[in-house]
Each structure stands twice: as C-alpha cells, then as structure tokens.
Amino acid sequence: MQLTDLTAARLLDGYRKGEFSPVEATAEALERARRIQPEVNAFVRLTEEDALARARESEERWRRGEPAGLLDGVPVTVKDILLLRGHPTLRGSRTISEQGAWDEDAPPVARLREHGAVFLGKTTTPEYGWKGVTDSPLTGITRNPHDPARTAGGSSGGSAAAVALGAGPLSLGTDGGGSIRIPAAFCGIFGLKPTYGRVPLYPASAFGTLSHTGPMTRDAADAALLLDVIGAPDPRDWSALPPAPGSFSEALKGGVRGLRVAYSPTLGGQVAVRPGVAAAVRRAVARLADLGAYVEETDPDLSDPVEAFHTLWFSGAARLTQRFPPRLRQLLDPGLREICAQGSRYSALDYLAAVDVRMGLGRRMGRFHETYDLLVTPTLPVTAFEAGAEVPRGSGLRRWTGWTPFTYPFNLTQQPAATVPVGTDGDGLPVGLQLVAARHRDDLVLRAAHALYEAGQALSGLVRPAGS
C-alpha cells in the first residue's frame, strides 16, 4: 500500500488504528512532490522542514489518543494566492518581493493549522490568478498529470496536479471564474467552489466578491471534511457567513433520491460541447436518474454574461496594478497587462451596469432553484489542450472565458458549484460534470457528488507517476 494513494479520510482511519503514522504519510507525500515537480511543475516551494516537524507533533498526539482536530496529520497543499505563515506568498508574480515578515495565515489556512494539518508547500498559479490556465513569468508552465504536453488548467492548476498525483490528498484553491473547477476537471479530481462567504477570505481579493476559496480533493467525502474545517467565520472577512447549520460530512448520507435535477447540456444551445465530453456527462446524468433523482432536460434563463464578467474581472485587475510603476508593469504577464489596460478604461457607470447584469442573473437563478434542487452541466466544453496557451490552438478565441462558459456565470451568482470527474474523452483525458445549487446549499452539491462516487460513476482522481 502506498500512502500517497489514500484519501484524507483513509489516512485518518489509519492513524486512529495505528496502521501508519503522520510522519510516514508526510514523508511519502513529500517524496512524491519532489518526484513529480520536474515534469508537471505543481509547486512554487516545498516546506519540508516545517511539514516534518508538524507531522512529528501530530504523531505524538495520535500516540496519546489526543488528535488536535478533524485533519490532524493530513498532508495538505496551499495555492500560492493564500497566505501561509512563515513563507512568502508571491502569487505567481515577479512584482512581489520575498522579503518581509510573512507572519499571517489566510483564514482557511489558520483553520487547517488549528486542526493539525501538515502543510507540504505552496502550489503554482498564473500571475495573481488572472486566467484559466497555469503559467506565469515567475514559475513557468504547470502541466497536466494525464499528459504533460497539455495544460493542467487554472488558475489553481498546481493544486489540481498535486492532488491528482498523490502529493497530498487535500489542497486549498481559489475560484474567481472557474479557477477551482477548471483545473479539477482537466486533471480528473473533485473541486468545489462553495457559496460565497462560506470560506472567509483575507486579504480581500482585488476581484471582489467573484473570488471564492474552496477544497480540491480526490472525492466529495474529503471535500466535505475539508469544508467542515475551513467553513468557519473569521473576523478579518466582514462578508463571511455564520457557521454552517450542520456538518457537511454528515450531509453526504442523504443521496439523490427525490432531488429535482435540471440537466442543461449546452445552456440552451449557447455552447458547442465536444462529443466525448457530452457523452460522458450524459452517462453520469442517467446514473443520477437511476439513483432516484427526477431528471429533466431543461435550461436556466442564462444569456451569456461574459461582457459583464469581463467588466468586473478586468476592472479588478486594473485596480490590483493601479499603483505599479512602469518598471513593475513590464514584469507582468503580457496578457495580464492587456486586461489591466482594458479594465482601466471602464467607467464607474460601466461597472455598475455590470453589477446590474449580475443581480439580474442572480435573481433568475434564485427563481430557477425554486423548481430545481440542482443544475447539471458539463464543467467545460473541452478537455485539456496544449500547455502554455491561454486558449486552444485554432479555436479563434481571444481570452480564456471563451472556453469556460459553464463556470464564470456561477461566480457572478455566488452559488455553490462543483466538478466531478465522470469519464474520459477519446484521448483518455478527464471529463468533468458540474453540479450547481442555490446559494447556501453546498450540502446538496456534495450529496449528489458523493452519490456519483458511491455508485462508481466518478473517477478516483489519482494518477500514479510512471514506475510507481
């Protein structure tokens, strides 16, 4: 048995029974991280010394029968957008200096620390998390575990690759327009963008209330466990939600029988979905029906809000870099420089018009969920394309939003949305199914995803490196 193959839940069970220790699990995860790094480039840095020290402390607590919390001794990774005390957070950018105290944890990192988790290191991101693939001037290209010639997706691409390859079963990602769900779908793992405010953010994102933090894991059960830990209020985030009314792990037991599921394969003909993707998603939807869900093929009232999203997203990027002197601007990813320039040209009235579009979309989705518990779509219309490109070659698209039409609308509405790996296309590349629920119904998303895993419809989310 390789400990890198095990989920967080299985590791915790093994610690409890004395089958293996946090030190052993951490050492194996670190070795796996070192092994995969040259090919996939998932990490900005490994925090090996700190990880082993925390693992030894955890091992002693388990020996005494006094674990510190729900994730004591579990190896985790953190996207290099989120603060990790004692280590630089460079956000994929050459504009940030490593010098400084770095003496704070982001809220979800603080909760993980309180619960005894072991931090393996920081994972790669495009600069400031601005796009749906992971490459940056600072760290280069992050590659797909299933085919290193292809992208891992982004912006949480390092986290997705690390989880898929066994370098820790849990990772913290961020999602402002699909940045958890895109790489999770491309890499064949589970990813959840919770309801906005369920996981507190600090410092506040320049992209405002589009940006969420959430779990990236091998299955829905691990994501529920992680959300039980990180979904707690923090005084540094004034928009954080109060504690959840119950345990997300307990909510997994409900299954899908009797749930009302709307299946929208193309958002009413707005999206061209590749046949291999469409077929895998349709098979999984049929399985939901077999499990007792009431499935209807129908579409939400969702005209493409991409221009409103661009106004909000590009304005956030412009604000982020507003005070950069020319020498720092020259260090930026050229694509990021381009959207910053576009964002700086929007007026306050343009921004407020985009907010109006957002509010209208949210209102329509609220009404939609009076009829349907869940909306199911493909996570993406394509599978992973060539690494190092923002858009698929020959697609004629200009920006990453051109191939992510199923993801960014639900950042505008702040709804919980998850991707579940439900098969592969003709090239053996993972296909994701997206589950969306009304705001505050993260439990329904997790329940339905867990049901697919329990039924054997979802993939394991694990890729073994050659020779393992």
φ, ψ of residue 158 to 5 degrees: the values are -65, -40
Kindly tell me if the per-residue pLDDT of 446 is higher than 80: yes
Q: Is the pLDDT of residue 201 over 80?
A: yes
Q: What is the pLDDT of residues 411-440, one digit of tens each?
A: 999 999 999 999 999 999 999 999 999 999
> Which distant-in-sequence residues (6+ apart) come within 8 Å of 293 by Cβ?
256, 257, 258, 259, 260, 261, 374, 448
Give per-residue pLDDT as tens, 362-379. 999 999 999 999 999 999
pTM attached to this predicted model = 0.98
pLDDT score of 460: 87
Per-residue model confidence (pLDDT) at position 466: 76
Angle formed by the axes of helices 48-64 and 8-17, to 10°?
A: 50
For the chain, the distance separating the N- and C-terminal CA atoms, rounded to the nearest angstrom, is 11
Per-residue pLDDT tens digits for 58-117: 999 999 999 999 999 999 999 999 999 999 999 999 999 999 899 999 999 999 999 999
Instruction: Convert the pLDDT of each residue in 448-459 to its tens digit.
Output: 999 999 999 999
Q: Report, as an integer, the average pLDDT of 33-44.
A: 98
Tokens 């949305």 belong to residue: 417
Instruction: Name residues whose C-beta falls within 8 Å of residue 378's C-beta, 6 or more positions apart in sequence.
Output: 265, 271, 273, 277, 278, 281, 406, 431, 432, 433, 434
Q: Tell me which residues are annotated as active site.
A: 79, 155, 179
Residue % of the chain over a pLDDT of 70? 100
What is the mean predicted confidence (pLDDT) over 9-31?
98
Q: Does residue 55 register a pLDDT over 90?
A: yes
Residue 1 has pLDDT above 90, yes or no: no
| Domains in the chain, CATH or no CATH each | 3-454 (3.90.1300.10)
467: pLDDT confidence band, cut at 50, 70 and 90? confident
